[in-house]
Amino acid sequence: MIYVLDTDTVSLIVRKNPSVIANLIRHEDDEICISAISYAELRYGLEKKGSDRLFAEVTAILGKLSIIAFDESQSELYGKTRVALEKSGTPLGDMDMLIAAAALSAGAVLVSHNTSHFFRIKGLKVEDWCV
């Protein structure tokens, strides 16, 4: 199984959340990845904070993860998902929908502490490693 870490899960790894770390080490490195969207969010956060220590920690974590490039398949899933959620009156933020599209496209499980957001997306498998 492939697991796509949401941006918040990477942040929990940086904060050394024991539950997230325990779940992380149960999996092989090649089972864990992030989307290019989460990578962009993390890079933005690093630039905004301007902390050399944080930059080194996050860079070390990212160096162990593969990054799913954004592609046409994800674009199509994003469009369909956004329309479906808008029609149901339960839209999500664009970044969350793009991250979900990456997980859906890969047939992966999305690992996020924001499960209430993602459970609304039909067909998306979601796990919270923080519990």
pLDDT tens digits, 59-98: 999 999 999 999 999 999 999 999 999 999 999 999 999 9
pLDDT-derived band at 117 (thresholds 50, 70, 90) equals confident
Going from the N-terminus, what domains does the chain have, and what CATH number goes with each?
Answer: 3-127 (3.40.50.1010)
Predicted TM-score (pTM) of this structure: 0.94
Tell whether the model's pLDDT for residue 131 goes beyond 90.
no
Q: Which amino acid is at 113?
A: H
Question: What average pLDDT does this structure show over 30-44?
Answer: 96
Instruction: Order across the sheet with 125-127: list the strands.
Output: 66-68, 32-35, 3-5, 109-111, 125-127
Question: What average pLDDT does this structure show over 15-43?
Answer: 95
